[in-house]
A and B are shown apart, each in its own frame.
Chain A
Amino acid sequence: MDFSQSDKDLWKQIYHTKDLLHCFNCSTCLSGCPASHGDPPLLVRNLARMVVYGLEEDLLNDDTPWACVSCSRCEEMCPMDVKPFEMILAIRRWQTSNDETRVPTAIVEIYKRGYTQSVGTNTELRASLGLPELQTITKMPEMLKLYQEMLMKTPVVSENDYMFNEE
């Protein structure tokens, strides 16, 4: 691969702080990462290098950032305080903003009912357990509307608004 083809400033687009530049490839993030057991493995260190090198194409096509379990163990153990979990989220954001197919369907669910799944509709079960009815936003249409209105002002929703329109 030829570096003249890579974007030296890519890291600035992806990561809002210079924390990433501290990385010295020690591999600490790798050895305790749950998702590094996956196939393909999540290799946080390698992703950090790809960002620093500006390997746009490879990064855009990499699914592994989405395998992260968000345990933040790497964040705790990283000797250089690179904040690798923040970096994983940053890569996902950059991928999402550059590739609409990356937009997680979960946010559409959240937009529609406030949660990724139906909450508070299991009234019978809840009652059998002695639980009260839950005041979820799904049951508060006025509130939900305000929430949707708010989300519509945020980049991911406004830029992909077609995904959020009611059928």
Chain B
Amino acid sequence: MAEKKPTGTVLVAGAGISGIKAAIELAEIGYKVLLTDASPQIGGILAKLDNQFPTDHCGMCRMLPMVGREYASQYCMRKGLYHENIEILPFTELKSVEGDAGNYTVELLKKARYIDTDKCNGLGECIRVCPVETADEFNHGLTLRKAVYKPVPHSTPQMLLIDMETCTRCGECVKVCPTNVINLSAEDEALTRQVHAIVLASGVKLYNLKDFEDAKSWAVSPDVVSSLAFERIISGSGTFDGTIRRPSDGRPAKKIAWVQCMGSRNRRQKRDYCSSICCMFALKEAVLAKEKGGDEVETTIFYMDMRTFGKDFYRYYERAVDEHGVKLIRCRVQGVMLNPDKSLSMRYFDSETQEFFVSDYHMVVLSTGQVPYETHQKLADLLHVDVDSRKLLPTDPYDKVKLVKPGVFLCGSLMGLTDISEAVGSGIAAAGQVSRFLSGLDVSLLEEEEIPEPTAKDRDEPLVSVVLCKCSEKMQESSVDFNALGAGLKRLNGVGEVHILDMLCSDEGKQTVLDLLAKSKCNRLLMGACHPFMYRKSLKNLAKKAGFAASLVEITDLSSIVHRGFFDPQPVESGKRDYTRLAYNDLRGHIENLKLKPALHVESLSINPAALVVGGGIAGMHAALSLAQRGVEVHLVEKTDRLGGYAGTRIEHTIDGLTPVSMAKDLAGKVLEHKHITLHKNCEIVATQGSLGAFETKIRDVSKEENFYLTHGAAIIATGGHEGATDEYEYGNSDQILTQAELKDGLATGEIDVGEAETIVMIQCVGSRQKEGREYCSRICCIGAIANALAIREKNPEARIFILYRDVMTYGFTEQYYTQARLAGIIFVSYSLDNKPKVELVDGSPVITFTEPVLNAEMQLTPDYLILSTGVDAEASNREVGKAFGLPVNEDGFFVEADSKWRPVEFLKVGLYVAGVAHSPMTLKDAILQAEAAAHKTYAYLSGRKIHTAHTISRVHDAICVRCQRCVTICPYGARSYDEALDRIIVDGATCQACGMCAVECQNNAAEIMGFSDKQIMAVIDAGLSKDPVAATPD
């Protein structure tokens, strides 16, 4: 008898956003995930952030699967994570890892919380009676907490714990606990698990102000705070209800300064790296301060280089400065002085006037950077590997998420220093690598229980069955009178039966319901139970088994009302809210709604299992191979006659020792050999038809001058980019003026000899980061210029090399190359956009004049070569490809992803993905990471085989629709389109998220969310406001 294959199991160690993303991705394709975190909560740093650039809102929930939302359930991810394939173990440390690839034994230590969180109702009677007060880490010590506390105040369910460092063991909490779940002598628990693969995602911390030397110069007042603490100050759930006040006395803070590079870019403190995230963080906080505090708030950022290198960062920077009036001062200040009136003085030097100024601020925010290295050595020891020369975990040279040890992967800030978008992207990429790895092992996926959809009995007279869960006896005594409630509901028109039972969440409870409903004559079902986002799926399945069609079932959160009532200290007589009435009205609303509900149906469509990859550069080839390895048929379309793209054909060496050209050759060999990959060279995309798992794309073979068609279920756009063009700075008028790529080529071939050169000048940001031109940072030019400058230096130790720059964008660990370049005598001189260097040709040779900013003096250079960093341009063909697939391309010519932070490789249109420079200028490693992520999203989508539309989606009443297409424009998911042939608005049922924007926008009520008719909504409101008495006497 064949043994049952074990379920593929993955340990994800670290539950910040990258770990959570990796866990969700793996759980969604059916692997069992063990998600641990050393801290008592999940969510990492992001749990503290209410607002994220560029939307200035939270968008964490966008990480959740969008398709099949009715099954996976949507919820606020800052509250928690709920997935039946993910076992979450917070407060759990990884103690050891033994075994070989595909068969690891991990030992975990689950630290004692002293509270059984499975049984705790989270309402915090214990917190009320706890006599201990100590600084609350969540609000960075700006507020106090008790010894028993909620590590994240907004998480659900509440995961309380007792901090034994401060606990006095007085036992008051034990006495008041209504559920008897506190055990002060609980002990840590050792766990041993077998896993097939491991994803390390332990992330990084931000510098704690108390922990590092530099910050001591600033520790003069409580009004000097870290950027994360400022985030808590402006948070609605933070210290001052969202108004901006200084911690010392709670008075409004009207003048706020940010100080950059706190804890980073400091060779003296052995931290010669850039934290990467702080510039955008500060800009965002400065903008938020303006938005929340009004126009009279003055915000100033003291900086060295404004590192706005990512996609759309520069535009955000422009808006911050031009529209919001955020002031930027290029000066690193030594410290701050506390004035008697509590204001904070900073003295800085203004290079333009060559004068010192002293400014007073109400609050100073220190942009404390990420702390790399902390956990790397520890993890390396656990895994029996050595850290690399940068003191990081040793990874594949091209693949940042792949550890040298097989079956172990990493993501997020463990890779280096990442922002949200990179953390999310790397989480997907790590999941992709795990999935590739597990596809080679003999493991199985978790099977989903298939319950057939019962026939909706909506033609019959509505008859509602009401099932209510009392939760626990003790609590209901003093809040909701269930007998009265049940009797009252039963009297309502259309209610067939009311069942009141206990512990619906338990197996016995569920069986009881099944038994009761088996005899029911009702055709609609209302369940009043616990937190719906935790139990929705199991309760919906329960209803299905009992024979109720999904669209005729309502589940509502009764426990919140019961709990709130239990802990309301006011007695009913003296004005306490009547919680029985509250529950009654709420349930009545649901009953009225159910009675009016139409039966809704879902569609189930097959997905074509093949994938199309557009672009045969490194990203495209990498994505194609990643898919093919997992058995996906891939069509790789390349418009030229060779594979490799820009990097793979032009860049022999990178500054970090990579060799893209030989790497591309290697990839091309594998692509040509792979049985699952069909290569189409010299081919262009003409048009695409269809959607939702069934695309048909018309391709033109340019060399043969003929068209053909490919059918595919998904596509990855990896069209790449190339060096930008310019006619600025006399380019084209002298053979001494070259672009960086021309210089690189010339140096490689020997056509350019710099051996005798006396002076070489490079100008950065040529045509970039300005309104008319590339209104973005190309991200790679500063490092590219440094690489070329160092190459020149090697050939010519005597030449003077000047790099004229605006901001040196050596973010993350690339800062070391900037330091290395300066040490090699390369001179960096900054210029501003309104005072660019001027180039004249004198006897055919360039002469450059510029204002030297340190000395504020006019300077002149007569170089042998003038090298221009002309940035990265998107492929011109992006617009046609975008049009063919119906994908948005931004004004710079790059593709627009679904969400810059949370869905970095997806398009709003289901089944289409983006990777590499088609998305935005990026480094080779980042392009590979994105390719892996896009391939994984594609694989996960295709491997689902079928796509289900949701019950609740929007629809169009064609008869009253005037085809104005306003709904098409406003739809944030791209689910609506106008079909010219049919002259109709089409709704893509799998893409629609039923948000209702179209229904609001439509002037004719032609757009409607099914199951949310006006009639239903009015009935719910009427019930909610009803003053009818709840029946007082039980039956």
Contact = CB atoms under 8 A, between A and B. Distances in A.
Do any CB atoms of chain A lie under 8 A from CB atoms of chain B in the complex?
A: yes
Interface stretch (A63-71, A77-85, A156-164): A77-85
Interface in B328-369: 330-335, 346-349, 351, 354, 356
A26 interface: yes
Interface stretch (B89-97, B585-593, B857-865): B857-865
Interface stretch (A46-54, A91-99, A136-144): A46-54
Interface string B461-500: 0000000000000000000000000000000000000000
Given A22-B823, A41-B356, A79-B269, A1 B857 contact: yes
A115 B417 CA distance: 55
Interface stretch (B260-268, B519-527, B873-881, B912-920): B260-268
A154 interface: no
A21 B821 CA distance: 9
Interface residues of A, number: 33
Interface in B260-280: 261, 265-269
Given A21-B823, A36-B356, A31 B349 contact: yes
A27 B334 CA distance: 9
Contact of B332 (A8, A27, A37, A49): A27
Contacts of A28: 332-334
Contacts of A41: 356
Contact of A78 (B268, B852, B855): B268
A31 B333 contact: yes
A3 B759 contact: yes
Contacts of A30: 331, 349, 356
Given A3-B800, A79-B265, A79-B269, A26 B349 contact: no
A46 B819 contact: no
Contacts of B852: 49, 53
Contacts of B862: 2-4
A45 interface: yes
A19 B759 CA distance: 23
B304 interface: yes
Interface string B121-156: 000000000000000000000000000000000000
Contact of A25 (B333, B356, B818, B854): B854
B828 interface: yes
B827 interface: yes
A153 interface: no
Interface string B817-832: 0110011110110100
A96 B332 CA distance: 32
A32 interface: yes
B267 A80 contact: yes
B650 to A, nearest CB: 30
A78 B267 CA distance: 9
A33 B331 CA distance: 14
B854 A77 contact: no
Contacts of A26: 304, 331-332
A107 B985 CA distance: 93
Contact of B827 (A2, A36, A45, A52): A52
A49 B348 CA distance: 18
A24 B822 contact: yes
A156 to B, nearest CB: 29
Nearest to A52: B827
Interface string A1-45: 111100010000000001001111111101110001100010101
Nearest to B217: A77
Contacts of B354: 43
A72 B811 CA distance: 30
Contacts of A53: 827, 852
B759 A46 contact: no
Contact of B855 (A4, A37, A46, A81): A46
A4 B266 CA distance: 33
Interface in B876-934: none
B598 to A, nearest CB: 67
Interface residues of B, number: 44
A81 B267 contact: yes
A81 B332 contact: no
Interface string B828-864: 1010000000000000000000001111011111100
B825 A21 contact: yes
Contacts of B855: 46, 49-50
Interface string B379-420: 000000000000000000000000000000000000000000
User: Which of B346, B349, B759, B853 is the most central at the interface, judged by chain A CB atoms within 10 Å of its CB?
Assistant: B349
Contacts of B798: 8
A1 B859 contact: yes
A63 B714 CA distance: 72
A30 B349 CA distance: 7
A52 B800 CA distance: 11
B331 A31 contact: yes
Nearest to B861: A3
B856 to A, nearest CB: 9
B555 to A, nearest CB: 57
Contact of B304 (A1, A2, A24, A32): A24
Nearest to B823: A21
Contacts of A23: 822
A9 to B, nearest CB: 9
A80 B808 CA distance: 16
Contacts of A32: 334-335, 347
A33 to B, nearest CB: 9
A79 B333 contact: no
Contacts of B348: 27, 31
A119 B335 CA distance: 40
Contacts of A45: 349, 854
Nearest to B348: A31
Contact of A8 (B356, B800, B860): B800
B146 to A, nearest CB: 40
Nearest to A74: B334
A22 B334 contact: no
A52 B852 CA distance: 13
A97 B288 CA distance: 56
A126 to B, nearest CB: 42
Contacts of A22: 267, 819, 822-823
Given A8-B800, A30-B349, A36-B356, A77 B334 contact: yes
Contact of B349 (A27, A52, A73, A77): A27
Contacts of A81: 267-268
Contacts of A21: 822-825
A4 B863 CA distance: 9
12 contacts: A1-B860, A2-B860, A3-B759, A3-B862, A24-B818, A30-B356, A31-B332, A31-B347, A49-B855, A78-B268, A79-B332, A80-B266
The 5 nearest A-B residue pairs measured at CB: A32-B334, A26-B332, A81-B268, A79-B266, A49-B854
Given A1-B859, A32-B347, 9 more contacts: A25-B854, A28-B334, A36-B349, A41-B356, A46-B854, A46-B855, A49-B854, A79-B269, A81-B268
